[in-house]
Amino acid sequence: MRSNSDNLASKLLDYLARPPGDPSSGEVAAATRNCVAAAVERLGPRRAPVAEPPEIAGSATRWAREGVALETVLGAYHDELRSGLAFIAAETEDDKVVAGAQLMLRVLEMVTVTTSTAYVDEHRVVAREHQTAAQTLVSALLGGHGVAELAKQTGIAVAPAYQVVALSIPAHPEERRPGAGVAAARRRLRRVQAALADPLGSRALSLLSVAGGTVLVPIEDRSARVGVPAVTADVLGLLSEAAEVPLTATAASGPTARIPELAARTHDLLDSVRADERPPGLYRVVEPEADDDCDTAQPGHPPYVNSTNDSEFGWSA
């Protein structure tokens, strides 16, 4: 025979399985409702310790990458908990216990939201300062001036050579929905920026907008063949997964002093790739080899494709 707690947990799960009362409450509210239901199902009347439902951490990770404010997430969770308590109140006759539980929930919400917001706000300030310094350094590297002084000011070391990557991020179909375009594009950009960190490390620099931009990956030891971070076809695939659209990139490598030239070349080639409607993927710029029987490359001469997969671009003689 089922206990009262079993019956109440079952009824609460049935209640949480219904859609939110407000149809316009949004994706966060709907997802938090599902997460609360998963927690109730795991905890319920059980006595033994149980693991946290994976959807709670999975949703939190996705929202963090998309830049959803933590206070928004916590507020949505507490709204669902209040809704659950209201449901329990309608199913029980002990008004004092329910009133006490509601009070403690309000206390929990105040403590959790206030502490978390202050903690995250401070973290954002530190992260924003570092991001501003990094973007200033990228601009200096692309402009070819004031790099040494800025490196001292920002504390970001400048490598002797870089892989210079021009990146194109096409629009996602979700951005065509009325009223959702700007927010969806920003979430997509944040996912791409977050995805850059793991394969490239913390010293990779980027200057990106929702449409793309430039990524600079330091090359510390040009003779090393293993373990050196770089944008490869596989890395571009990871970025495409994060963006949920196929990305296109052109890449070249060279000394730090040549970054302005390499950036101009990779972006010119990226424009050509897009204009020719070539498939998404990574296209490499190949330096011309010295040849006594071949004239030097002419400025502005169109590139040619040496390979169709992880393609290489060279300059015809």
pLDDT over 80 at 116, yes or no: no
Nearest to 8 by CA among 234, 307, 16: 16
Q: State both tokens at 151.
A: 């490196």
**DSSP 8-state code for residue 69:** -
pLDDT at residue 302, as a whole number: 40
Computed over its alpha carbons, how large is the radius of gyration of the chain? 26
Q: Give the pLDDT band (50/70/90) at residue 197.
A: confident
- H or E stretch including 54? helix 54-66
Domains of the chain: 4-92 (no CATH), 159-315 (3.30.70.270)
Higher-pLDDT residue of 281 and 44 is 281
Check pLDDT > 90 for residue 134.
no
State mean pLDDT over 8-35.
74
> Residue 37: enclosing H or E segment and its boundaries?
helix 27-43
User: Do 75 and 28 contact (CB within 8 A), yes or no?
Assistant: no
Q: Which helix (H) or strand (E) holds 61?
A: helix 54-66
At residue 72, does pLDDT exceed 70? yes
Within a 10 A sphere around the Cβ of 133, how many other Cβ atoms?
16
The span from the CA of 20 to the CA of 61, in Å, is 22
Q: Give 85 or 96, the one with higher predicted confidence.
A: 85
What is the model's pLDDT at position 314?
A: 43
Q: What is the average pLDDT across 150-168?
A: 86
Judged against a pLDDT cut of 80, whether residue 141 lies above it is answered with: yes
d(CA 101, CA 244): 42
Burial (CB < 10 A; 0-12, 13-18, 19+), residue 49, is: exposed
**What is the overall mean pLDDT for the chain?**
76
Is residue 92 over pLDDT 80? no
pLDDT at 250: 96
pLDDT at 281 over 90: yes
Residues sharing a CB contact under 8 Å with residue 205, sequence separation 6 or more, in sequence order: 134, 137, 138, 141, 156, 215, 216
Q: What is the DSSP string of 80-102?
A: HHHHHHHHHHHH-S-HHHHHHHH
Token reading at 97: 């216990």
Q: Return the pLDDT at 297.
A: 32
Q: What contacts 203, CB < 8 A, 6 or more positions away?
A: 156, 157, 159, 218
Give this prediction's pTM: 0.58
